[in-house]
Amino acid sequence: MIGAGLSGSAVAHSLASRGWAVTVLDQAEGVGAGASGLPAGLAAPHVSPDDNVLSRITRAGVRSTLQRADALLQSGTDWALTGVLEHNLAGKRRLPKSDPGNSTSTSTNTNTNTNTGADLPHDMSTLASAAQIAAAGLPPETPALWHGQAGWIRPRQLVAAQLQTPGVDVLWGQTVHAIERRGALWTASNAQGQILGEAPLLVVASAFDSLALLNPLPAVTVPLKPLRGQISFGHMSALSDPQRQLLPPFPVNGHGSFISGVPAPDGQPGWFIGSTFERDCTQAPVRAQDHAANQLRLATLLPALGAAMHTQFAPEHVQGWAGLRCTLPDRLPAVGPIDSQRLPGLWLCAGMGARGISLAVLCGELAAAWLDNEPLPLPPALVKHLSAERFVRT
Ligand SMILES: Cc1cc2nc3c(=O)[nH]c(=O)nc-3n(C[C@H](O)[C@H](O)[C@H](O)COP(=O)(O)OP(=O)(O)OC[C@H]3O[C@@H](n4cnc5c(N)ncnc54)[C@H](O)[C@@H]3O)c2cc1C
């Protein structure tokens, strides 16, 4: 395995749990050098009126992630199943309707709505109740959804826990410069040509950097792209009482996301707002203008809180973290063999985009089930949308 982020650690965990011996090579000196170093993020479903492929895959992914978090992480400090309120700005998000005549399952809810979501094809997302909208500090008429099976996660903790699975051996500080098939084995070597690892199966899970390893190989056409993002965060201890009183008791998304009461990287309870999106940028410095963009995001997402918290974006309070997401044009990851005919034994797990927390665990399970000829965790009609081979040109 090349890459010890959410993707690599998820595949490693799923394989090692099935008895495989997995060696993970990562160029960093420890967990969280890439996008998975994100201090805190959300596992939350995507909804669409036709319950489209992205919605169905994300829903399955969130379930897998929450189960994994429940099994491996400490609730309250590493993750929490809080539920997430989605502020349905511009009414863009619409729940699927199982009954075309059911007018309650639209985005135009009011505070009198009592829909429980029992009529929906799944039970993870409903219209938000008046009490949930009020708890977020939003006006009663605000259109909003409630994702009950959702919450926050600190990705580093999940990565670290998955890498601790017996059978997983992590070699830090190993920058893979080239990969090559020699006989029946794939080899990964460093810039000096020294072999860092060799195996009949090589899984490349090094996000956007995967491209540099894959490009020299013949016939590889996976169009990975970088998408820089920054979150802004601060300490709860710096908040005034009036600011604290406005904090929602659960994360809110819909225009970026706001999370509070979650340990910041230094362990102190923090608040977090993000994220920015910047295409075609391959570096991830923290920038002052991105704090300003996140401040605006908070003011749109939660207007009362945004107005009250403007002082917290002063340079002496606000902190930042930036990383590179790795995306694909259809907004879905690429998992599995890259080209089983021409490059047998070479697999990919990358392209998690802005949903690695929600998707990587499922992708790891998919890869391992596939390799072990088990029933797959998704129906074939969805698996084909994740298959890395969908990019092979014939
Ligand atoms: C600002 C921001 C906010 C986000 N918020 C959310 C959120 O709320 N919810 C959500 O689901 N997702 C979110 N994401 C997305 C999520 O963080 C990513 O999808 C996920 O972390 C990607 O994991 P990965 O393992 O594929 O990549 P990475 O975590 O980037 O891991 C790649 C690893 O490969 C290693 N590597 C690279 N090149 C080499 C090499 N040549 N040799 C050896 N090792 C190498 C790196 O050191 C790194 O450890 C966010 C991302 C950002 C940037």
Q: With a 6 A CB cut-off, is 4 part of the ligand 1 pocket?
A: yes
> How many angstroms does the Cα of residue 324 sit away from the middle of ligand 1?
7
Return the number of other C-beta atoms located less than 10 Å from residue 172's C-beta: 14
Give residue for tokens 């909208």. 133
Q: Which CATH number is correct for 6-39+155-223+330-391, 3.40.50.720, 3.40.50.1360, 3.40.50.620, 3.50.50.60?
A: 3.50.50.60
pLDDT band at 383 (very low <50, low <70, confident <90, very high): very high
Higher-confidence position of 264 and 392: 264
Q: Dump the DSSP string for 118-130.
A: TTSS-SSEEEPPH
Q: Evaluate if residue 151 carries a pLDDT over 80.
A: yes
Distance between CA atoms of 171 and 149, rounded to whole angstroms? 35
Q: With a 6 A CB cut-off, is 231 part of the ligand 1 pocket?
A: yes
Positions of E strands within the chain: 22-25, 41-43, 79-80, 84-87, 125-127, 144-147, 151-153, 168-171, 178-182, 185-189, 195-199, 202-204, 225-235, 252-253, 257-263, 269-274, 278-279, 319-327, 334-337, 346-350
62 and 150 Cβ atoms separated by less than 8 Å: yes
> How many angstroms does the Cα of residue 209 sit away from the middle of ligand 1?
10
Sheet with 195-199: list strands edge to edge. Answer: 178-182, 185-189, 195-199
Tokens for 195, please give them. Answer: 């072999």
Q: Evaluate if residue 101 carries a pLDDT over 50.
A: no
Tokens for 270, please give them. Answer: 């923090």
- Residue 104's pLDDT is what? 37
Model confidence over 271-294: pLDDT tens digits? 999 999 999 899 999 999 999 999
What are the residue boundaries of the structural domains of the chain, listed by start?
A: 6-39+155-223+330-391, 68-151+226-327
Model confidence over 10-35: pLDDT tens digits? 999 999 999 999 999 999 999 999 99
Q: Evaluate if residue 120 carries a pLDDT over 60.
A: no
Q: With a 6 A CB cut-off, is 206 part of the ligand 1 pocket?
A: yes
Beta partners for residue 42, in sequence order: 152
**Closest C-alpha to 320, from 312, 330, 310:** 312
Summarize the confidence of residues 44-71 as an average pLDDT: 96
Q: With a 6 A CB cut-off, is 335 part of the ligand 1 pocket?
A: no
- For residue 41, the ligand 1 atom closest to its alpha carbon is 8
Model confidence over 329-354: pLDDT tens digits? 999 999 999 999 999 999 999 999 99
pLDDT band at 116 (very low <50, low <70, confident <90, very high): very low
Q: With a 6 A CB cut-off, is 348 part of the ligand 1 pocket?
A: no
Q: With a 6 A CB cut-off, is 358 part of the ligand 1 pocket?
A: yes
275 and 295 Cβ atoms separated by less than 8 Å: no
Q: Evaluate if residue 98 carries a pLDDT over 80.
A: no
- For residue 10, the ligand 1 atom closest to its alpha carbon is 25
Q: With a 6 A CB cut-off, is 357 part of the ligand 1 pocket?
A: yes
The CATH architecture that domain 68-151+226-327 belongs to is 2-Layer Sandwich (3.30)
- For residue 28, the ligand 1 atom closest to its alpha carbon is 47
